[in-house]
Amino acid sequence: MGWRFMERTLRFASTQKKTKFVHCDFAFLQTDAMLQAMDWDDLRYVLAISRAGGLNGAARALAVNPSSVYRRLEALEKALEVRLFERLRAGYRLTPSGEALAEAAERMEREALSVENRIKGTDVRLEGHLRVSTSEAVTLHLLPRWLAEFRDTYPGLTLDITSTNQIVDLSKREADVVIRGTDRPPPHLVGRRCGQVAFAAYAAKSYLDKVGRDRPLADYEWLGFDGPMLRVQQAKWLADQVPERRIRLRYDSFAPIRLAMASGLGCAALPCFSCEEDPALERLPDTLNVTTYHFWVLTHPDLRRSARVRAFLQFFGTRLAALDASVMGVGS
């Protein structure tokens, strides 16, 4: 909604016959002719290139081909008769004119998203879409037990669930609500704290039947972490407890680690809620770590009055808080 809202507003301003200057902080956009020449959707492309530092990253963010990004930029620069980016070997860098355009576009983006959030925050209907962001582990091992009940309770609501270990920006409407395990929730978000998070080392019983139980951790083969997963607490614990040479496979996301461990390829340090209820798995002795992390169900302050958001926070917050301690690993 945000970009379309801006586009409609700015197009209206540019069509007013008496308007010779529209205050957008664009020093070089001072006539009706220049305003008419600009497609406001192009601003998304300018911001994407600026944030990514090049065409390929911008194309991924916009879900288009790099050639499309290139053509849009070339057309915009031609229409404005100004160079917006320097083409360097290391990537694309904003020129002074490009910086002015990008800064103004960012302000417009923030304002439009703020208006959208305020409008959406007053919505009292229990229908429509909610964009939910949470981790792979929560998506695979916690949400499925409640989604059917949520669908039956709120038949007018549709959840668009993004499984990612990356932090999303609710102020930019990358999600409406998030479920995260953290010990420091962002201070600008609102929500509720739920169950405590613990992790431990697990292996398939078939693997332990083959290599033996109650052995030193360094005697086992281990599945390690890579990429964004290196930031999780389990990765730090594994680096402290297991020699590097015993980590034979590394993964950059939760799902393949969990699957490889369950397939008997080695041991893995994983959240207890993802393993405790699986009868084919076994926790290694003395590896339980009850962390300072709790689950938080969070939203942007502008959305907290939305009936849809309130329903989600109440429903999933209550169920997360009510999970049996043994499932979370903190009661055993």
- Distance between CA 109 and CA 2 in Å, rounded? 7
Poorest-pLDDT segment among 91-100, 159-168, 191-200: 159-168
pLDDT at position 212 over 90: yes
Residue-wise pLDDT for 303-313, tens only, equals 878 889 999 99
CATH of the domain spanning 2-121, picked from 3.40.50.1970, 1.10.10.10, 2.40.50.150, 1.10.8.50: 1.10.10.10
Average pLDDT over residues 66-79: 89
pLDDT at position 47 over 50: yes
Which is higher by pLDDT, 200 or 13? 200
Residue pair 278/329 in contact (Cβ under 8 Å)? The answer is no
Average pLDDT over residues 277-283: 96
Domain locations in the chain as residue ranges: 2-121, 126-332
String of DSSP letters for 258-274: HHHHHTTS-BEEEEGGG
pLDDT at position 196 over 90: no
Helices (H), 24-65: 32-37, 42-52, 55-62
Instruction: Say what the pTM is.
Output: 0.63
pLDDT at position 79 over 80: yes
pLDDT at 113: 65
pLDDT at 6: 47
Poorest-pLDDT segment among 52-66, 161-175, 216-230, 250-264: 161-175
pLDDT at position 200 over 90: yes
- 2-121 and 126-332 agree in CATH topology: no
Residue-wise pLDDT for 134-150, tens only, equals 999 999 999 999 999 99
Poorest-pLDDT segment among 32-46, 160-174, 262-276: 32-46
Per CATH, domain 126-332 is 3.40.190.290? yes
pLDDT at position 299 over 60: yes
Between 55-62 and 66-80, two packed helices, what is the crossing angle to 10 degrees?
110
